[in-house]
Amino acid sequence: MDFPLLTLIVFLPLLGAAAVALLGNARASAGRAVAAFVAVVDLGLVAWLAARFDVAGGMQFAEIAEWVPQAGITYYLAIDGMSLAMVALSALLTLLAIVASWKTDRNPALWFSMLLLLEVGMNGVFVAMDFVLFYVFWELVLVPMYFLIATWGGPRRQYAAVKFFLYTLFGSVFMLVGIIALYLQTGTFGILEMAGAGLDPSFQWWVFAAFFLGFAVKVPVFPLHTWLPDAHVEAPTAASVLLAGVLLKMGSYGFLRISLPILPDAAAEWSTFIAALAAVSIVYGAAVAFAQTDMKKLVAYSSISHMGFVMLGIASMTPEGLNGAVAVMFSHGVVTGMLFFLVGMVYDRTHTRMIAEVSGLSSKVPVAAGLMAFASFASLGLPGLSGFVGEFLSLVGAWGSDIPAGWVIVSVVGVLLAAAYMLWLVQRVVLGTPSDAVARIDDLGAREIAVLVPLVALTLIVGVYWDSLLRFTDPAVRAILVTMGGA
């Protein structure tokens, strides 16, 4: 531990947020420049870390300091391949969110400082290896997201923001009880120290239930998903991107980092139940997405469906399944981020998100239309694009596991549904004759294209060259399976 790189990656945005807030609305253009600079530096630090990252090295860049020695609470940051993928996603999407919302004119100081504060929590969750620290970051995320939705959201923003906060808080307080129970059993708050501790199976079952509430609300797993459509529809574009792109992953990351390694017996007992909920989420999300008349709602429900594949992969508890889960998490962040950005860009021009009022984009705005089609194909899991990698691996893993085949078959139906609703969306929005709303709009500007290009590139790279992502995630998920005593 020579240089506190992870601390810098986590807390640099906090300094940025303070600077932006102090600059205030009077010097907002300086403030947003600071915000973008901080986000660029943060992403650069993540890239630097990735370059020095030893793929086979397990947990690295560890920083441990005493925090509450009486109870064994430590300031413990460390990163493995799985965390690295998530932190990279968080740093990248934050930067893109800042660039995409460059023109925010209502209270810009608050806007950019909240985006950076959100990044602190998101980065922190994925590298905190102490339960109390993890919980601090977990809750920290709620506050800026509340303000992002409640200040810049749609007409029902207050309701959606509070609903988001209370739902997540409801889940996380039970997680806190689970953390307390684990501490009393093991005498430590260290996440990694608890892994493979061999706790009593019936005790594990109850703690798993407590964590399940916390994580499943966040993912979200049907039937705990009802906050998500409200939050997404009301949230401003950049907040939607980060909500879908990173915040949902915190839940599935929790399952992978905490529930599986620490509570392996309970995880095995719960796996069929989780697989069933995953399959229901996949089909339910897809079916409801079908019925949507609002593009943003469609993307929101498709998220529930995609996160179902993550849960299916996790429930399989096989190397393929877990790799698939992490791959879907990454890919969904990239692709859904792209879709939300595009929907936002179209909305900025047409002032409507209604599918019926937006059609024929391809003849008026070919760049936007092409990217929309590209993102839709990636979302439906076209081979060669990133969406396929994870869904394929998840299904392979689930098929080869103890999960009843019926649930896997139901999930495959979900893949078909996804193809159907995304293609139908492309047909209605991208193709056809231009509607009135589309008739006089301009195509994407350079800044908007700059936001989308990195996402397109990642979609292609991961989709074609799977190893670019899996070489990071595979050792990490295998380490998880080893602590579980299987595989």
CB 140 to other proteins: min, Å: 7
170 is an interface residue for other proteins by CB under 8 A = yes
Listed ranges 48-56, 141-149, 355-363, 404-412: which one lies at the site for other proteins (CB under 8 A): 141-149
Stretch that binds other proteins, among 134-142, 215-223, 334-342, 461-469 (CB under 8 A): 134-142
Query: How many other C-beta atoms lie within 10 A of the C-beta of residue 357?
Result: 15
CA dihedral (198, 203, 208, 214) in degrees, to 10, reads -120
Q: Does 132 contact other proteins by CB under 8 A? A: yes
**Contacts to other proteins from residues 51-90, by CB under 8 A:** 67-71, 73
**Of 92 and 140, which CB lies nearer to other proteins in the complex structure?**
140
Span near other proteins by CB under 8 A; candidates 51-59, 159-167, 352-360, 467-475: 159-167
Question: Applying CB under 8 A, does 433 fall inside the site for other proteins?
Answer: no
Q: Tokens 């980060």 label which residue?
A: 242
Which residue type sits at 170?
A: F
DSSP string, 70-110: GGTEEEEEEE-HHHHHHHHHHHHHHHHHHHHTTT--SSHHH
What is the size of the binding site for other proteins (CB under 8 A)? 30
- 175-194 residues near other proteins, rule: CB under 8 A: 176-177, 180-181, 183-184
CA distance 171 to 167: 6
Options 112, 135, 222, 472; binder of other proteins; rule CB under 8 A: 135
Dist. CA 146–CA 390, nearest whole Å: 30
**Residues 146 and 165: beta-carbon distance below 8 Å:** yes
* 164 touching other proteins, by CB under 8 A: no
Nearer to other proteins, 49 or 160 (CB): 160
Closer residue to other proteins (CB): 172 or 318: 172
- Long-range contacts of range 46-53, CB-CB < 8 Å, 24 or more positions apart? 46/9, 46/84, 46/87, 46/88, 46/91, 47/88, 48/5, 49/5, 49/6, 49/9, 49/79, 49/84, 50/84, 50/88, 53/79, 53/81, 53/84, 53/472
Query: CB-wise, 70 or 433, nearer to other proteins?
Result: 70
Give the C-alpha separation, 149 to 142, whole Å.
Answer: 11
Please count the CA atoms within 13 angstroms of the CA of 138 that sit on its side-chain side.
27
Please, what is the minimum distance in Å from the beta carbon of residue 11 to other proteins?
A: 13
Whole-angstrom distance, CA of residue 430 vs CA of residue 363: 8
Residue 150 CB, nearest distance to other proteins (Å)?
6
In the complex, the smallest distance separating the C-beta of residue 442 from other proteins, rounded to whole angstroms, is: 33
Residues that bind other proteins (CB under 8 A): 67-71, 73, 132, 135-136, 139-140, 142-143, 147, 150-151, 158, 162, 165-166, 169-170, 173-174, 176-177, 180-181, 183-184
